[in-house]
Amino acid sequence: MRILVLGFTGYLGGHVTDLLRRTPDVAVIGGGRSPAADVGVDLAAVSPDRLAGTLADVAPDAVVNCAGAVGGDAVTLAEVNARGPAVLAAALRAAAPGARLVHLGSAAEYGPGTEGVRVAETAQAAPATPYGATKLAGTAAVTASGLDAVVLRVGNPVGPGAPAAGLPGRVVRLLRSAGGGPEAELRLGDLSPYRDFVDVRDVARASLLAATVPGPLPGVLNVGGGGAVPVRELVEGLARAAGFRGRVVEQNGGSARSGGVSWQCSDIAAAERALGWRPAHTLRDSVAALWREDGTAAVAAGAVPDGTP
């Protein structure tokens, strides 16, 4: 089976690619803007006709689109998150209409949730930020394409390799430089919102299943941890893993990407029914793996003591 992974060098795409390459009878083609790509593709700029020619040469059985922008102005977000999936769907219709398309969406498409309520795929989407709105536009392009396609609406990914653009990776980098003494401080925004964290390795496994299971799939499937926890728990878990003995100082304000959303939790029952998928990693697992892979280099340099269990 030939699977083209777009955005294969990114956080989610890297884990998806690694898992697929370890899967028997799967040939992985890496696509993206990286010089290491097997196929050079920039979904924000390529024309549908040119991309169709590329897809005809690659002849994929499935395409997993992990390309996306989490930051930048509204134009950048729209070019990557909305235009990109629309161009990809048009090119697939022209060149590889039988290929399955797996597109990674975001739980931010739902917008603010109701405390205590898990949001199902049938809920009305009302994104509160340009990020969520552009991701929703990409979902609409995929689900209306007429292709054998599924959108995986991913919760808040965490685990090894987390980029500095997101809170988990940023906290690791702050811990690296904060020092290990009791006088050290981590200054962060409001950590009271609840989020549905999902391990990046579980996202990769859901992507593999979505690309390979036979038969039709629902248009949208939630891929989350299945529960909401305060963001503060994530930060405290990383601090414990790092052996951090200082203070965590919460300041007013949050990220533009979060848009003041105080509660977010996805109902993941449909993914279990359609894919046989459930998350295998707890938040504790994810935090420990993130620190082991991304934080221990700082320990060797003497920045913080190693408290990883």
Among residues 11, 110, 131, 194, which one is catalytic? Answer: 131
Tell me the three-class secondary structure of the chain, residue by residue.
CEEEEECCCCHHHHHHHHHHHCCCCCEEEEEECCCCCCEECCCCCCCHHHHHHHHHHHCCCEEEECCCCCCCCHHHHHHHHHHHHHHHHHHHHHHCCCCEEEEEEEHHHCCCCCCCCCECCCCCCCCCCHHHHHHHHHHHHHHCCCCEEEEEEECEEECCCCCCCCHHHHHHHHHHHHCCCCCCEEEECCCCCEECEEEHHHHHHHHHHHHHCCCCCCCEEEECCCCCEEHHHHHHHHHHHHCCCCEEEECCCCCCCCCCCCECCECCHHHHHHHCCCCCCCHHHHHHHHHHHHCHHHHHCCCCCCCCC
Q: Is 194 a catalytic residue?
A: no
- Hey, which residues are catalytic here? 131
